[in-house]
């Protein structure tokens, strides 16, 4: 099984060294901060540089912009794969955060809406602030490289929540 990891752009000039020391030869760069490892990420002190990681349960390397009916096909495949898993939240994001390309933002939004409607239709939809870190979540990342999805808990992924990495409430008191 492959792992998808995110190393912040802050360390961009060190990405090659970090991957080398993680023994991640053959890692494929996706977007600006993401890497698809050929296997699970090894335990290492360098994991400090990895914002989060997740095992990939479904991948579809393709060009979503050029794939006819991509949204319908992606939803169908993910519904078939995830329906029995009991996910309680769906998180979909473009592979390039803050992407200037509106296509992938709109695609991520549409994919999330469709998956929420089909996978969570009978469950109470929860706010990201209320999500238990042990609850299963369907994580999907989509970009020009294709679609990559995982069924995992936010805790297992290193604090990756639907509201962002380690979601911070805007209503919380400032310290």
| Alpha helices in the chain, H assignment, sequence order | 15-21, 70-82, 102-119
% of the chain beyond a pLDDT of 70: 83
Q: pLDDT (tens digit, 9 = 90+) per residue, 76-127?
A: 999 998 888 888 888 898 988 766 678 998 999 999 999 988 888 666 666 6
Longest dimension (CA), the chain: 50
CB atoms within 10 A of CB 43: 8
Mean pLDDT of 17-29: 87
Q: How far apart are CA 89 and CA 112, in angstroms?
A: 10
Fold of 57-168: THUMP fold (3.30.2300)
Question: In the chain, what percentage of residues exceed pLDDT 90?
Answer: 38
Assess contact for 40 and 1: CB atoms under 8 A: yes
Mean predicted lDDT score pLDDT of the chain: 83
**Domain range list for the chain:** 1-53, 57-168
Give the C-alpha separation, 58 to 165, whole Å. 21
């Amino acid at each position: 099984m492959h792992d998808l990891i995110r190393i912040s752009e802050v360390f961009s000039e060190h990405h090659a060294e970090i991957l080398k020391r993680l023994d991640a030869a053959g890692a494929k760069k996706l977007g600006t901060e993401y890497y698809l490892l050929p296997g699970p990420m090894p335990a290492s002190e360098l994991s400090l540089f990895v914002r989060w990681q997740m095992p990939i349960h479904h991948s579809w390397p393709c060009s979503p912009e050029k794939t006819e009916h991509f949204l319908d096909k992606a939803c169908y495949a993910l519904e078939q794969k995830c329906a029995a898993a009991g996910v309680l939240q769906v998180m979909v994001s473009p592979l390039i955060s803050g992407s200037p390309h509106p296509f992938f933002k709109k695609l991520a939004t549409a994919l999330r809406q469709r998956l929420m409607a089909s996978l969570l239709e009978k469950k109470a939809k929860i706010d990201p602030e209320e999500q238990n870190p042990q609850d299963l979540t369907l994580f999907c990342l989509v970009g020009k490289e294709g679609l990559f999805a995982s069924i995992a808990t936010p805790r297992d992924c290193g604090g990756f929540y639907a509201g962002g990495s380690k979601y911070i409430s805007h209503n919380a008191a400032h310290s």
